[in-house]
Amino acid sequence: MKDMKEMTYKDAVKLAMCEEMRRDENVFLMGEDVGLYGGAFGVSVGMIEEFGEERVRDTPISEAAITGAAAGAAVTGMRPIVEIMFMDFTTIAMDALVNQAAKMRYMFGGKAKVPMTLRCPGGSGTGAAAQHSQSLEAWFCHVPGLKVVVPGTPADAKGLLKAAIRDDNPVVFVEQKTLYKEKGMVPLDEDFIIPLGKGEIKKEGSDVTVVTYGRMLPRVLRVAEELEKEGISVEVVDPRTLVPLDKELIINSVIKTGRVVLVNEACKTGGFIGEIAAIIAESEAFDYLDAPIVRLAGLDIPIPYNPRLEAAAVPSEEQIRAGIMKVMNR
């Protein structure tokens, strides 16, 4: 295994794409401004120079067309990576994604494969207002045939994106805008793959389990470290992929601690942590719960443009702390 290198989340995503494109000529990237401009968030800067216009394709402003083209390319043997500039715009790509890409393998009796990866940055925190700040991962989780990945660290971003590109099914890969500049140690090994469906305990603990992913992960970890000093031992579980979900990891952790707090940025109503809550309640872990499950999620409102209101719309470190204290009866 090669060395580790400190790099940003954004560079880890790029590294994963570059490695896979070097490894497999069928892998290519397309999206709005991914070529000459290097992507709206600069993820693909420099890639057009290495791989050329054929493999790093600038597209017209039509998410429906891009995603439809990708589904078609995938079914004919290519392994496209699509970048949708903001996750909010996947709504325009929904028919191609939900009705075509997700269904084809099933409807052709397994004869068709759709190895496409749809990358999209989600979440608020950049002052981009209601139409550019949503966390819509639960929409995709509700569609059988799609896999959904939300990495919370640079290393996970690399390992999971490589797994997504190599997967023969359509994968929605939700990047986190506010994490793009977060740094972390990333393995340089080209075979470093994190299998989809395998979560990770980011911090071991014994008093309470916090399940979280994506943008909320660093916040939860900071709170957990603080609480550790105050004598509360928090276990932080990151499922990393929502579909397929590492249920066993979550259930075992809850059995261990007997208390669980679920945190995500997305709106509370219909959010994916509601699904996790139901899975816990249905499982063996039920008999070990020693307090009601606590959910911390975004407010059920469009994300405000005002920066203070924007910040107040999603769980803060103070709120995460308060939620953990609540489940601990402290």
Size of the site for other proteins (CB under 8 A): 9
Q: Provide Rg for the chain, Cα atoms.
A: 19
DSSP 119-171: EEEE-S-SS--TTS----HHHHHTSTT-EEE---SHHHHHHHHHHHHH-SS-E
- Cβ proximity to other proteins: between 168 and 290 the closer is 290
Interatomic CA distance for residues 163 and 17, integer angstroms: 11
Least distance to other proteins from the beta carbon of 281, Å?
A: 9
State which of positions 232-271 bind other proteins (CB under 8 A): 258
Nearer to other proteins, 91 or 252 (CB): 252
Site for other proteins in 177-216 (CB under 8 A): none
Check 132, 162, 177, 259 and give the catalytic one: 132
Name the nearest CA neighbour of 274 among 249, 297, 302: 297
- Residue 232: CB minimum distance to other proteins, A: 15
Site membership for other proteins, residue 329 (CB under 8 A): yes
Task: Return the sign of the alpha-carbon dihedral for residues 297, 125, 173, 205.
Answer: negative
- DSSP conformation class of 6: E
Show the site string, 277-306: x = touches other proteins by CB under 8 A, - = not: ---------xxxxxxx--------------
Query: Measured from the CB of residue 288, what is the shortest distance to other proteins in angstroms?
Result: 5
CB of 327 to other proteins, least distance (A): 10
Q: In the complex, what is the shortest distance from the CB of residue 57 to other proteins, in angstroms, rounded to a whole number?
A: 54
Taking the C-alpha atoms of residue 34 and residue 36, their distance in angstroms, rounded to an integer, is 7
Spatial CA neighbour of 140 closest among 108, 101, 196 = 101
Instruction: Indicate the residue among 126 and 252 with the shorter CB distance to other proteins.
Output: 252
| Angle of CA points 223, 227, 228, to nearest 5° | 115
- Comparison of 76 and 329: residue with beta carbon closer to other proteins: 329
For residues 124 and 257, which CB has a smaller minimum distance to other proteins in the complex? Answer: 257
CB closer to other proteins, 116 vs 294: 294
Report which of 155, 75, 90 is spatially closest to residue 121, judged by C-alpha positions.
90
Burial 93-122 (b: 16+ CB within 10 A, else e): beebbbebbbbbbeeeeeeebbbbbbbbbb
Structure tokens at 291: 């307090």
How far apart are CB 252 and other proteins at their closest, in Å?
15
Annotated catalytic residue 142: no
Tokens at 169, concatenated? 């099914």
| Helix, strand, coil percent values for the chain (each to nearest 5) | 40, 20, 40
Residue 239 has phi, psi (to 5 degrees) of -70, -25
Instruction: Please identify every residue annotated as catalytic.
Output: 132
Residue numbers at the binding site for other proteins (CB under 8 A):
258, 286-292, 329
